[in-house]
Copies of this chain bind each other. A is one copy, B any other.
Amino acid sequence: MTEDQIRKILEDYKNGALSPDDALNRLRALPFEDLGFANVDHHRVIRQGFPEVIFGLGKTVDQVSRIVESMYKNNHNILVTRTTPAHFERLKQIAPEAKFYENARAIVIQKTAEILGKGAVMVVSAGTSDMPIAEEAVATLKVMGNEVDSLYDVGVAGLHRLLDRRERLAKARVLIVVAGMEGALPSVVGGLVSVPVIAVPTSVGYGASFNGVAALLGMLNSCASNVVVVNIDNGYGAAVVASLINRL
């Protein structure tokens, strides 16, 4: 709650427009809706121009559909991440325009396609198997109003594939680099550009990759100083931060 809002409530109260109880209530009022199992936070959307986002993992079809219903009356884009075909079957009934990006495990209900970012975000991924996470990032970036370019299967053991696309890399305002195994790609990309690089380790690999730990550690220890990191397989989170940067 901002200072102006407090001042306004104080004034309304002084000139009698608000009773003491009303003033007190206002000072406590919060723009979220309590569904019992979830507090839907409309406030965040209003404040930030975000789509409304539901983390689908571990939620029942009922829970997801009730949250979407609560959101659907507003005029914002809706994004469901880590979702399932079962979720989609139900949501189609609430929102016929819903689209299911199966690789990305994402459902998008797009009500506005307004571009909010000032430039392009580039999504780069190391191997074919990293693509689902890269595509989660792409879907999120689009629903949040960004121009997106993408470049897949450009792992560091075949540098020419990457060096050849250097100009495209140079055009991005911020980059998301997705890699499993040794997670070296963000360091190499970071050395080729002068803008922030958001590294996303993936759980791709086997043996001593430990489901993404090797890639995560590689990225945290990057010798390129323009690299920051998000959680393993968190394409969504990388896209949110890239969007925020791209709107600055």
**Contact between B187 and A219, CB atoms less than 8 A apart:** no
- Cβ of A74 < 8 Å from any Cβ of B? no
Given contacts A24-B7, A167-B3, contact A203 B207 (CB under 8 A): yes
**Contact between A225 and B53, CB atoms less than 8 A apart:** yes
- Cβ of A70 < 8 Å from any Cβ of B? no
**Contact between B226 and A196, CB atoms less than 8 A apart:** no
Given contacts A196-B244, A231-B208, contact A224 B157 (CB under 8 A): yes
A residues with CB within 8 A of B? 1-3, 6-7, 10-11, 13-14, 20, 23-24, 27-28, 30, 32, 36-39, 41, 43-44, 47-48, 53, 55, 57-59, 63, 82, 118, 126-129, 131, 152-161, 163-164, 167, 170, 173-174, 181-184, 187-188, 190-192, 194-196, 198, 201, 203-234, 236-238, 240-241, 244-245, 248
